[in-house]
Amino acid sequence: MDYKPKRLKAKDYVDGVLSGNRTLLSKAITLVESKLEEDQNLAKEVMASIMPYSGNSVRIGVTGIPGVGKSTFIENFGKNIVEEGHRLAVLTIDPSSDKSSGSILGDKTRMESLSKLPEVYVRPSPSSFFAGGVGEKTREAIFLCEAAGYDVIIVETVGVGQAEALVRQMVDFFLLLLLPGSGDQLQGIKKGIIEFADGLVITKADGDNLIKSKIALQEFKQVVNLLSNRDKGWRPPVKICSSVTKKGLNEIWGMILDYEKNRKINGAWEETRKDQQVYWVKEQTRVLIEKRFFNNPWIKKNIEKYMPLLINGNVLPSEVAEKLLEDFVVYLKKQS
């Protein structure tokens, strides 16, 4: 097809986002996620204009293994928040949408009634955006949603990969959902994730699960006591809830508001956001260096020559990498 849609200008995106137009917000996020150079240049322009309007929200990361009840939780928890007069954006990191667009539809049906509310915006992003440190794009999506007037942002991840460490660096409150099972086994969750959770919630505390979830509550309180040594007076609370009976959902929102109040009084809220900015400067620097390194003509020409060292010389990959880097530095010195 040679049909080409009319290209929007930076001002079209900016005006659209600032006026809360959801179609243009979606288009702006797509633009930011695009890998095309011309899109990236336009995206930079858009981001520079909307940045002054970003920042005014509570950013919540929600994670947990598949099946723990994340989307059901977000759907019901989200409705409560909206009833209190907030506008909610949900950004989901969707590993299955990397291959086809099919699951994007799937995700929409996951939070169907929530996404139909006029105060709510739901957006799935493929998890490939996290590969190679480009979680920055989700961060930019947060800023765009804030500029569009959403004052609560939920970023949902599946709780098993490296995405959580990056999401931790872009949210104010990191909520870990757990099944009403034993705390001993940590349910396949990396210990590290518990260490950086700001709150833990045992899901599905209803029916036959109610007793199990109360036991899990006690167990996870102990796990938190052992694992967590959080600074600035916040010990991550452990709560139970049911998205079916809706019990506990308000308490979780209350916990997040408490956290916000507590952190704002002692300055930790802004401090953490500043630390996150520093983190992303370093992360982006790393990404840029890596890209330029592998695109360098000398590296492109010579990198393969180093590989036989591995096979012939019983040399460790790290040593090969060091040798490559040393020779590259020598080459650069000769150039200057």
User: Half-sphere exposure of 55 toward its Cβ, with a 13 Å CA cutoff?
Assistant: 12
Give the contacts of 216 (CB within 8 A, at least 6 positions apart). 178, 179, 180, 181, 182, 183, 202, 240
68 binds ligand GDP (CB under 6 A): yes
Residue 313 binding ligand GDP, by CB under 6 A = no
Torsions phi, psi for 282 (to 5 deg): -65, -45
Tokens (6 digits) for 96: 């299955």
Which residue from 4, 6, 37, 67 is in contact with ligand GDP, where contact means CB under 6 A?
67
Q: At CA 29, angle to CA 24 and CA 32, rounded to 5?
A: 125
Q: Which of residues 206-225 bind ligand GDP (CB under 6 A)?
A: 206-207
CB of 257 to ligand GDP, least distance (A): 22
Out of 16, 61, 69, 149, the only residue in the binding site for ligand GDP (CB under 6 A) is 69
> Are the CB atoms for 94 and 128 separated by under 8 Å?
no
Contacts of 120 (CB under 8 A, 6+ apart): 78, 82, 87, 88, 89, 90, 114
* Least distance CB 199 / ligand GDP (angstroms): 17
Site string for ligand GDP, 143-162 (x = CB under 6 A): --------------------
Of 25, 50, 70, 224, the residue at the interface with ligand GDP (CB under 6 A) is 70
Q: Is 204 among the residues that bind ligand GDP (CB under 6 A)?
A: yes
How far apart are the C-alpha atoms of 173 and 132, rounded to whole Å?
24
Q: Which position among 33, 242, 249, 252 is part of the footprint of ligand GDP (CB under 6 A)?
A: 242
CB closer to ligand GDP out of 2 and 208: 208
Q: Does residue number 115 form part of the binding site for ligand GDP (CB under 6 A)?
A: no
CA–CA dist 283, 163 (Å, integer): 14
Q: Does 71 interact with ligand GDP (rule: CB under 6 A)?
A: yes
Measured CA to CA in angstroms, residue 10 lies from 27, 34, 44, 46, 136 at distances of: 11, 15, 9, 5, 20
Residue 82 touching ligand GDP (CB under 6 A): no
Name the residue nearer to ligand GDP (CB basis): 31 or 175: 175
Shortest Å distance, C-beta 243 to ligand GDP? 4
* CB contact at 8 A, 16 and 110: no
- DSSP assignment of 30-65 equals HHHH---HHHHHHHHHHHHHHGGG---SEEEEEE--
Instruction: Choose one: 60-68, 135-143, 165-173, 315-323; the region binding ligand GDP (CB under 6 A).
Output: 60-68
Shortest separation between residue 116's beta carbon and ligand GDP, angstroms:
17
**Stretch of 47-55, 199-207, 297-305, 318-326 lying at the interface with ligand GDP (CB under 6 A):** 199-207
Does residue 46 bind ligand GDP (CB under 6 A)? no
Name the strand (E) or helix (H) holding 201: strand 199-202
130 by Cβ neighbours in 10 Å (0-12 / 13-18 / 19+) ranks as buried
**Residue 37 Cβ, how far from ligand GDP at the closest point, in Å?**
36
- Binding residue for ligand GDP, selected from 24, 243, 248, 252, defined by CB under 6 A: 243
Choose which of 66, 254, 267, 317 interacts with ligand GDP (CB under 6 A).
Answer: 66
Determine the Cα–Cα distance for residues 120 and 152; give it in Å rounded to an integer. Answer: 10
Could you list the residues that contact ligand GDP (CB under 6 A)?
64, 66-72, 203-204, 206-207, 242-244
